[in-house]
Amino acid sequence: MVAVYNPYASVIKSIRMMQLKVQKYIFREVIVPMGLGIFVLSFVLIMGNLLKLTDLVINKGVAFKEIALLFLYIFPSFLDITLAMAFLLGILVGFGRLSADSEIIAMKASGVSITTMLKPVLVLGLIISLATGWLLLYARPLSRIGFHKQVFNIVNKRLTTGIQPMVFFHDFEGVVIYAENVDARSGKLKNIFLQDHRTSSSVATIFARHGTVRSNPKTLTFSINLEEGTILSGPGKVDTTSLQILQFAEYNIDMSFENEKSSGKWNQPKANYLTFPQMQKAFAGQLPGYDPHRLKIEWHKRFAMALAPLLFALIGVPLGIYSPRSGKIGGFVISLFIFLIYFVSSSFVETICRDADITFYGLIWLPDILFLLSGGILLYCAHKERDIFSFLPKFFVSRLFQKIQGLRRGKR
Cβ atoms 317, 338 nearer than 8 A: no
- In the beta sheet, which residues pair with residue 207? 193, 230
Ranges of each domain in the chain: 7-154+276-411, 174-255
pTM, two decimals, is: 0.75
- Specify the DSSP class assigned to residue 256: -
Greatest alpha-carbon span in the chain: 112
The residue type found at 182 is: V
Rounded average pLDDT over 341-348: 91
Model confidence over 191-241: pLDDT tens digits?
Answer: 889 888 877 677 888 999 988 888 777 777 788 888 889 888 877 655 555
Q: What's the CA gap between 19 and 13, in Å, rounded? A: 10
Backbone angles phi, psi at 248, to 5 degrees: -140, 155
What value does the CA radius of gyration of the chain take, rounded to a whole number of Å?
A: 30
Model confidence over 236-258: pLDDT tens digits?
Answer: 655 555 778 888 888 888 876 55
Model confidence over 45-102: pLDDT tens digits?
Answer: 877 777 666 666 666 667 777 778 888 888 888 898 899 999 999 998 888 888 888 8
